[in-house]
Amino acid sequence: MLSRAERALAEIEKNPDTRLRIYEPKEGEMTQKQLDAAWVRRLKAALDDNRFHLLFQPIVQLDGGGIERYEVFMEMRDEKGERVPTAEFMPAAERTKMSKILDRWVITQSLARLIEQKKKHPAMVFFVKLSGGSLEDLELFRWISEKVRGSGLSKWSLVFEVKEEAVLAHLKQAQAFATLLKTIHCGFAIDDFGKGPDPFKLVELVPAQYLKFHSDFTRDLVKNKENQARLQEITERAKKLKKHTIVQHVEDAATLSVLWTIGATFTQGNFFQGPSETLNYDFSAG
């Protein structure tokens, strides 16, 4: 709709005498509904053709520790084998509820990979992202519970993370989901945390064990004293509440050194390792 309004405005600007323009889409131009339907077809085809893959990025504990933690990402490839950015298809997937199907695919694949890895790495932990739409899935927890209990995984091997914005939009569902996860010894993380005026009001309502800070906090962190102060304030408050904090998008050593002084619990970013199909990060390197 906005795109068409811009085109109508452009046509008006070409003719200053025209003050009103009703835009009519040109032949072949797709509506948002048609575009979403096309994405649904592409996503279903990618699932059928096994063109979705898992990627893993290490989450590193700053003060050491032998537990191997990885965040799980979903990657899609097109018919030519080229990567399709998640930002291109996920909005359509969420609008059409396809995200629920994709989330279940990620959970199933993650569980299978984690069970395999646990044979040699018994302390490994996976952080699995969920879309806001999955919080509306009333059968999701029961489905996860059956899979987790039947897997033989050790306690707290799985953490499910949902963006702060989605948690706020589905507050009651998020409260129930996070509470129920504790009964099967799975964790809950609030992703992109800390941008609101008082984010800890949300922490009081939703029993999350992990708070993953919004990427804006690490942008130019070395020079941005305001971000440093805000990050330190939230970190100290989280520690008092016995919440683990994760600072993501760490891209260089200078940022890491600031995080040492702030006292962050965990860090994640391409400075350590980018998302990869292999789980080979050396956590003992310190």
CB atoms inside a 10 Å sphere around CB 122 = 11
Listed residue (240, 237, 238, 167) closest to 206, CA to CA = 167
Contacts for 143-150: CB closer than 8 Å, 24+ residues apart: 143/104, 144/107, 144/181, 144/184, 144/186, 145/180, 145/184, 147/107, 147/108, 147/111, 148/111, 148/184, 148/186, 149/184
Q: Which of the residues in the chain have pLDDT under 50?
A: none
Residue carrying the six token digits 């629920």: 100
Cα–Cα distance, 101 to 109 (Å, whole number): 12
48-60 confidence digits (pLDDT tens)? 999 999 999 999 9
Provide the pLDDT for residue 176: 96
Q: What is the average pLDDT value for the chain, to the nearest integer?
A: 91
Provide the pLDDT for residue 26: 67
Cα–Cα distance, 192 to 98 (Å, whole number): 22
243-255 confidence digits (pLDDT tens)? 999 999 999 999 9
Provide the pLDDT for residue 11: 81
CATH of 32-285 among 3.30.450.40, 3.20.20.450, 3.60.20.10, 1.10.150.120: 3.20.20.450
DSSP state of 276: B
167-206 confidence digits (pLDDT tens)? 999 999 999 999 999 999 999 999 999 887 788 999 999 9
Range(s) for CATH 3.20.20.450 in the chain? 32-285
